[in-house]
Amino acid sequence: MTRWIAVAGGFGYAPLAPGTAGSAAAALGFLGAVALAGREGIGRSSPIPAPLFVFLYLLVVLGLLAFGVWAAGHAEADFGRPDDGRIVIDEVVGQLVTLGPLLLGLPTSDFFSMFLAVVTGFVLFRLFDVWKPGAVRWAERRFEGGLGVMLDDVVAGLYAAVCLLALGGLLQGIFGGAPI
């Protein structure tokens, strides 16, 4: 069970770039959740009230974080090395942290624009996850075990979320209307 969670249901076994595969799975899951909820952003018509949708999203992300810390710690022991590349639950959580602000009304009302915003968030998260600037590298070096595996990706997700919000605001200032 712990290995299944740590490898995000098998995405960690991708032969090339398993971290990118885990991030892509999270991004596609985000798009699927938005589509199933019948919304392209908060404030649009939807069968699920916006506050409930955001609350459920936060619960899922926090639950994945908690299970991820637990599972990654066990998977490190199973795989016999710290932060093994097959452990990708951290990328899943980091990607979901990055995309969370899109639920706060940033995207435009059409699904294509939401898709472009998600792709932008995906690229930004992968950039910060690989580059590991500032607090991302600090978190990676400061903590060990499952918490160490997870925390640097959460911080990378926060960096990417801030950049996604800033980029959306910039685009809104330039083009007017909806930001992304």
pLDDT single digits (tens) 17-69: 999 999 999 999 999 888 777 655 444 566 777 788 889 999 999 999 999 99
Q: Is residue 46 part of a domain?
A: yes
Residue 112: how many CB atoms within 10 A of its CB? 9
pLDDT score of 44: 54
Domain containing 80 equals 2-175
Q: Is residue 165 part of a domain?
A: yes
pLDDT at 12 > cutoff 70: yes
Q: Is residue 142 part of a domain?
A: yes
Q: How confident is the model at residue 104 (pLDDT cuts 50, 70, 90)?
A: confident
Whole-angstrom distance, CA of residue 60 vs CA of residue 79: 26
User: Positive or negative, the Cα torsion across 17, 18, 19, 24?
Assistant: positive
Ordered DSSP codes for the chain: -HHHHHTGGGGGG-SS-HHHHHHHHHHHHHHHHHHHTT-SSTTS--SS-HHHHHHHHHHHHHHHHHHHHHHHHHHHHHHTSTT-TT--HHHHHHHHHHHGGGGGT-S-SSHHHHHHHHHHHHHHHHHHHHH--THHHHHHHH--HHHHHHHHHHHHHHHHHHHHHHHHHHHHHHH-SS--
Q: Is residue 64 part of a domain?
A: yes
Name the domain count of the chain: 1
Residue 149: how many CB atoms within 10 A of its CB? 26
Q: Is residue 121 part of a domain?
A: yes
Give the Å distances, CA to CA, from 99 to 28, 31, 42, 142.
11, 10, 13, 25
Q: Is residue 180 part of a domain?
A: no
Q: Is residue 24 part of a domain?
A: yes
Higher pLDDT, 110 or 166: 166
Q: Is residue 104 part of a domain?
A: yes
